[in-house]
Amino acid sequence: MNTLMSTDFNFPGQKSVYKGKVREVYTLENDVLVMVATDRLSAFDVVMPKGIPFKGQILNQIATKMMEATADIVPNWLMATPDPNVAVGKACEPFKVEMVIRGYMSGHAAREYKAGKRLLCGVPMPEGMKENDKFPEPIITPATKAEKGDHDEDISREDILKRGIVSKEDYEVLEQYTRALFQRGTEIAAERGLILVDTKYEFGKTKEGEIVLIDEIHTPDSSRYFYADGYQKRQEKGEPQKQLSKEFVRQWLISNGFQGLQGQSVPEMSDEYIESVSDRYIELFENITGDKFVKGDISNLQERISTNVKAYLAK
């Protein structure tokens, strides 16, 4: 199937292009950004060779819906979504940290805990916890933002302030916004019969000095969800939790001998497997948003995006 793996647009007033692991960001005059969500799949900070049909559309549309659902508590960068794969917003200076918040001991936190660590990013984790147990209260475990091809690294609040990565005044706002967004995300998830397990937020500062939420929010790429139904029983029995996130891709890669470590090569993904991943992402979309997923026309993705964005910019 046709997927969007990379773009090479030339929009009116275009000044520069930044290509991240999944998104490509076009900076235009007048401090406008055009962010294109591609169908690239990143796991263990490595971009997979094949794209996932509709993944970019799914991420973009979930993020848009969640930004609209949180705009009353935290300002964000978003101005419009002229195409299913595109968000247009205010240019910001991104903070060089990702604000990771965890309500449950899962994923990276669980792997660190199993390795015997009881301190994550300077935050203590209680003794006697099992994987996927709920923390007494959500913990913020920031990460430095990696360049393409590098790994994000855990960092403590103390180190962020000591190294001057973020000022104390700004960092306190980031923490406050992170907790408020996670609380709202938890409430939205609960309405859908889901548990928001952990997530990450990225923030930037506008030219006017306002701190705003940028990038994606509450998507299966940036968040982990469990099904609430049966959660407690599964914990009591020591069974794995039924989850909605891209963790299923990570687990498939691990079972095929890949964790992004030096010397490891990405296992071949068959067309059938790619299609099954696409189906899972559609399932994620419908569960997280409560909306039916409507597939965009992918007969010529590049042309569709270019036409829609240029029509929006011409208004």
| Three-state secondary structure string covering 138-199 | EEECCEECCCCCCCCEECCHHHHHHCCCCCHHHHHHHHHHHHHHHHHHHHHHHHCCEEEEEE
Which residues partner with 223 through β-bridges? Answer: 199
Ranked by mean pLDDT, the top range of 18-22, 102-106, 261-265 is 102-106
What is the average pLDDT across 215-239?
93
Amino acid in the structure at residue 151: H
CA 307/CA 172 separation, integer angstroms: 41
Asked if the model's pLDDT at residue 100 lies above 70, the reply is yes
Burial class for 156, CB neighbours closer than 10 Å (0-12, 13-18, 19+): middle
pLDDT band at 117 (very low <50, low <70, confident <90, very high): very high
In terms of Cα–Cα distance, which of 219, 193, 254 is closest to 57?
A: 219
Q: Which of these ranges, 33-37, 283-287, 310-314, has the smallest mean pLDDT?
A: 283-287
pLDDT of residue 146: 64
pLDDT of residue 42: 87
Chain-centroid distance, C-alpha 184:
16
Share of the chain above pLDDT 90, in %: 80
pLDDT band at 148 (very low <50, low <70, confident <90, very high): low
**Buried-state track 41-56, b at ≥16 Cβ within 10 A, e below 16:** bbbbebbbebbbbbbb
In terms of Cα–Cα distance, which of 200, 233, 215, 224 is closest to 288?
A: 224
Asked if the model's pLDDT at residue 257 lies above 60, the reply is yes
pLDDT of residue 56: 95
pLDDT of residue 151: 62
Q: At what angle do helices 271-289 and 247-255 cross, to 10 degrees?
A: 150
What is the average pLDDT across 200-227?
93
Residue with the bigger pLDDT between 203 and 284: it is 203
Q: For all residues of the chain together, what is the average pLDDT?
A: 93
Q: Which of these ranges, 71-80, 154-163, 173-182, 258-267, has the smallest mean pLDDT?
A: 258-267
Alpha helices in the chain (DSSP H): 55-70, 107-114, 157-162, 168-191, 231-237, 247-255, 271-289, 301-313
Pairing mode, strands 134-140 and 86-90: unpaired
Structural tokens at position 179: 């907790």
pLDDT band at 242 (very low <50, low <70, confident <90, very high): confident
CA 134/CA 164 separation, integer angstroms: 32
3-state SS class at 74? coil
